[in-house]
């Protein structure tokens, strides 16, 4: 089975509790959303077909135990669950970055899903599949990209609502939108409200500010 691949590269994981670790990235092509702050629009269409074996051969060259499947939106492609399963069976720890609009339960439960919940500032918050909140494993992570106070209040209210999975103790990430939300201001809001969330900055953009990529 072929997948359309935008790029495969080796870098530092920048957006999750795994931030700072060397990581092999597989960026798949295509996305069903158009977020206002998107920095990977080059992945909407550009890419080449590759077999799962060809992808894994390239990943193996990096000799890195951590692999992230990202996009675009990886779950748009039918072959993505098979790719993830084969990477896991090969002994890799696999992260999946997904935009939260598609059913995450198709992926192997050993995979660590880093799932966005889109806030109003993305202009795509009506696409969230909130049924995914009932499909999370304890090792999964939820990420809110915060562009301002309205997004912060949206995320806070959702976390405190009856719809939030009360028994789920995974990591909740609050990520300030690059060049839009001052991280220190977001830190103050989190502390004022005593939220049990992790503030995370986009580490790869601090390391390499002129280079795009990431969500």
The answer to whether residue 73 forms part of the interface with ligand SF4 (CB under 6 A) is yes
The answer to whether residue 123 forms part of the interface with ligand SF4 (CB under 6 A) is no
The answer to whether residue 142 forms part of the interface with ligand SF4 (CB under 6 A) is no
- Tell me the helices (H) and strands (E) count for the chain, helix number first: 5, 9
Look up residue 55 and give its two tokens: 């992808």
Integer Cα distance of 173 and 163 in angstroms: 18
Q: Which of 5, 24, 26, 35 binds ligand SF4 (CB under 6 A)?
A: 35
The answer to whether residue 204 forms part of the interface with ligand SF4 (CB under 6 A) is no
Integer Cα distance of 2 and 55 in angstroms: 9
Stretch that binds ligand SF4, among 56-64, 70-78, 153-161, 204-212 (CB under 6 A): 70-78
With 0-12 / 13-18 / 19 or more C-beta atoms within 10 angstroms meaning exposed / middle / buried, residue 187 is: middle
The answer to whether residues 162 and 131 touch, using CB atoms and an 8 Å cutoff, is no
CB of 143 to ligand SF4, least distance (A): 11
Q: Which of 80, 99, 175, 202 binds ligand SF4 (CB under 6 A)?
A: 99
* Contacts of ligand SF4 in 13-32 (CB under 6 A): 31
The answer to whether residues 24 and 67 touch, using CB atoms and an 8 Å cutoff, is yes
The answer to whether residues 25 and 68 touch, using CB atoms and an 8 Å cutoff, is yes
- For 72-92, b/e burial (b = at least 16 CB within 10 A) is bbbbbbebbbebbbbbbeeeb
The answer to whether residues 78 and 1 touch, using CB atoms and an 8 Å cutoff, is yes
Stretch that binds ligand SF4, among 34-42, 106-114, 155-163, 196-204 (CB under 6 A): 34-42
CB of 149 to ligand SF4, least distance (A): 21
183 sits in which H/E element = helix 183-193
Q: Which of 3, 33, 84, 111 binds ligand SF4 (CB under 6 A)?
A: 33
Stretch that binds ligand SF4, among 10-18, 33-41, 105-113, 204-212 (CB under 6 A): 33-41
The answer to whether residue 5 forms part of the interface with ligand SF4 (CB under 6 A) is no
The answer to whether residue 40 forms part of the interface with ligand SF4 (CB under 6 A) is yes
The binding site for ligand SF4 (CB under 6 A) comprises 31, 33-35, 38, 40, 71-73, 99, 215
């Amino acid at each position: 089975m072929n997948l359309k691949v935008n790029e495969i590269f080796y870098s530092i994981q920048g957006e999750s509790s795994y931030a700072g670790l060397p990581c092999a990235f597989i960026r798949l092509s295509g996305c069903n959303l158009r977020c206002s702050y998107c920095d990977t629009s080059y992945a909407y269409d550009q890419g080449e077909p590759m077999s799962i074996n060809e992808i894994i051969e390239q990943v193996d060259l990096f000799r890195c135990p951590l692999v992230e499947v990202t996009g675009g939106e990886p779950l748009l492609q039918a072959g993505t669950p098979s790719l993830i399963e084969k990477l896991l069976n090969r002994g890799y720890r696999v992260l999946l970055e997904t935009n939260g609009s598609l059913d995450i339960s198709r992926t192997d439960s050993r995979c660590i899903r880093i799932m966005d919940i889109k806030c109003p500032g993305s202009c795509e918050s009506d696409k969230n599949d909130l049924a995914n909140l009932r499909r999370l494993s304890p090792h999964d992570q939820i990420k809110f990209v915060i562009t301002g106070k309205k997004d912060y209040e949206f995320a806070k209210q959702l976390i405190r609502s009856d719809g939030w999975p009360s028994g789920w103790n995974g990591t909740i990430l609050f990520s300030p939108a690059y060049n839009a939300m001052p991280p220190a201001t977001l830190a103050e809001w989190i502390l004022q409200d005593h939220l049990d969330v992790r503030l995370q900055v986009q580490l790869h953009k601090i390391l390499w500010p002129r280079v795009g990529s990431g969500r």
